[in-house]
Amino acid sequence: MRENENHLKDLLTREFLHNKEIGALSTLLCGEISAVEAYNLAIENVKDESLLPVLEECRNSHAMRVVTLQDRMEYLQENALESSGWWGALARFVEGSATIISDKVALSVLAAGEDYGFTQYEQHIKDLDSETFDVALSELLPEQGKTLHAINNLCNGLHKNSVIEARRRRDNNQKKRAA
């Protein structure tokens, strides 16, 4: 009797841990698919074409992470997400609206998404099995850090450029008034 109880307890514990891991993988995968969709929108709509190489590099990094996470789900014999669901729809709406306003707003939205993605990795990495944990720690999290850094650099560069442009306009206006 005691042996059956222990066996049932072990089975339930394994099932709980498996479900927790699948939930973590699904959350990370959904975020990565959303990121790819958001970058696709930004790439299609940015006005400053000099931003495209960095945006494409970030999008490609997220696309690589989608494949890695889908492979892990399939390895664990689970159906991998193909869509970002409602979260992706919201991300597409926000990013689409932001690109209409300005490149700077679009980059700010992408930067917020990158930051959120980084915290998602930090939050869910502990729920992964040891092999997936190793992949996340050695590949996925560092890539997330790179895309976060790249977008923050673009945002900072646009901010500096807008400050320089504002100063240039101010100086021109002062020269016109003085003349």
Distance from C-alpha of 142 to C-alpha of 134, rounded to nearest angstrom: 12
Domain that holds residue 35: 2-178
* Confidence (pLDDT) at 159: 55
Q: 51 near 103, Cβ under 8 Å?
A: yes
* Confidence (pLDDT) at 84: 54
Q: 61 near 110, Cβ under 8 Å?
A: no
If DSSP codes are grouped into helix, strand and coil, which group holds residue 83?
coil
Residue-wise pLDDT for 57-70, tens only, equals 999 999 999 999 99
- Domain total of the chain: 1
Burial of 47 (0-12, 13-18, 19+ CB in 10 A): exposed
Residue-wise pLDDT for 155-169, tens only, equals 888 655 544 454 555
Residue-wise pLDDT for 11-61, tens only, equals 444 444 456 788 899 999 999 999 999 999 889 888 889 999 999 999 999
CATH label of the domain that carries residue 17: 1.20.1260.10
Whole-number percent of the chain with pLDDT over 70:
64
